[in-house]
Structure 1
């Protein structure tokens, strides 16, 4: 299994040497799934801890998390929610020509980088293993994007980062948003601004369903997921399907031509080019009325 596939590693952390990068594939392959997941769970916990302190955090080569206080007028009361924001790292935006749906941090705000030593201690692994696991996962994520795959990075108890084609979005779990802003404040804000729910995702939703194609590679599991999309329905709910009017038009013309003699002699022989759909409908109604009168009683 080749995680690197000739990808340039200029965006990797300078503290990781070329020899360590050469070993990264080995480390990622043989790092057991529970251990790899444990490291990323600690990363998610570190992010949440910083945000609860009204402080942001930067994960090198991935992006930055921060809190933006937002006031919403609810009746006579001004409710303040702590809105979490994610800013994709410039290296990924430039490397894959991605479109982040938010601006970068206003005023080039400096955020503290992730502390690998704290992650390593909490996950009971060496600092080197923690750093290579995190940066190796991001490098593999970049490789997948370079091959045109959709990706979904799950951050425990926070939410899901989804990149599909060129579009970047992050959705948060409801209980995380309630923790950030307070349950009552969040409910009041949503009642006034329902579109806030656009940033919410269920913990139980299949990750593939968050993409248009249903295909996604999930991280940190390194697993492919596909959720079949239901087939498109005909536009019957609009009262018609494509081509339906022209088919009816041709059927009317056929019937009218057959009855052009006799009871319908006084009417001009219709053609598709000379009569509109409305005119055809009127002729059809007139034909039926004439036919009913001519029936023996």
Structure 2
């Protein structure tokens, strides 16, 4: 069973291609399941589209869902298409996001922390002038938010849980017990984490999360899934077989995808 649950398209403003382009790419690569999971609008914002280069507008979300539903039927004999979204998580803004996701027939929701102390984690300028203590504070807040997102019950999957290192690899070298605490919380909540292969396109040059983190995740019985986080159709399913083999080496026996917010476990 081959699947990819994390990809984007042109609605978000920083990816290329239509939803159908990604589905067709998945078919060419002989995937069995393709989940569409573009960036959620900023539902808590008073503005319709506060960040045009990051997410779709609030008013576009219903059309996004409907387009996936139509394509799901169009390609029903070729591939299973799942309805998902990559949702930002803000601890003090859960209600408007919950309201939207409850309105639609979602198969899964990926919860990702992209902002810490109101600054995007991929903004390289945020690290300027920081010493190790400052970096540790940001890292601890990042993992505190991930732990809260797991506890919220809003998400089936947690996205790229060590993406803080994406454009700042040194962040991975800063030690803090918050990482271990967060993995324990995720395991207790039973939320899946994704192996996200887009990290190889960033400065860190490797998948999210690291092998070391996956070993600790296994210790805490954290379920895993797969997502390429493709922003161009050509990356759909990238490194899927390599990830499968790595997970088996680490000790995992299965990974999962979701239908109608329920996990489907698949042997590796």
After TM superposition, the score normalised by the length of structure 1 is 0.25
**Greater RCO, 1 or 2 (C-alpha within 8 Å, sep 6+):** 2
After TM superposition, the score normalised by the length of structure 2 is 0.27
